[in-house]
Amino acid sequence: MKRLFAVSALLSVLLAPAATFARPLTRVDQAFVTAYQQQARQVQSGRIRAIVQVQATNPEDLISTAKSVCVGLRSGLTMDEIIEAQVEAVVDQDGEVYEATVQVLGITNGLAVPHYCPEQAE
């Protein structure tokens, strides 16, 4: 029951709309965004490049997703359970958009732990 609640809470955080105001990035946020952009540039997909360009202008969604990964880990979810919840949230997207979104989530998830919750590193 606790796990079901945690997955439910994670999905609500992942699907919540981002704040409509831009706030200054902290050092950690900036380091995360920079690392994200460096990794995303290495991917050859045009869709991912388009997503990266949008996130560069307002990285709040990206940062929020990374922080929600840490919320999930701290609540006892495994990374696999978090990924499963994320994929379920985007499964209805068309094939190419779905594939790009999953790749973006992979980059985000991989960088979330070292930047926002290093105590969760295995």
Give residue-wise pLDDT tens across range 33-61: 999 988 888 876 777 777 776 776 678 98
In 1-122, DSSP assigns E strands to none
Q: What is the pTM of this model?
A: 0.75
Cα torsion through 74, 80, 82, 84, rounded to 10: -160
Residues 79-116 pLDDT 10s: 999 999 998 888 888 777 788 888 888 999 999 999 99
| pLDDT of res. 18 | 46
- Which position has the higher pLDDT, 8 or 32? 32
pLDDT in tens, 18-31: 444 467 899 999 99
State residue 17's pLDDT score: 45
Which has more confidence, 2 or 93?
93
* pLDDT at 119 > cutoff 90: yes
Cα gap 99→87, rounded to integer Å: 10
C-alpha 73, offset from chain centre: 13
Q: Where do the structural domains in the chain lie, given as residue ranges?
A: 27-120
Token representation of residue 69: 């990964």
Helix (H, G, I), strand (E, B) or coil at 114: helix
Quote the pLDDT of residue 83. 93
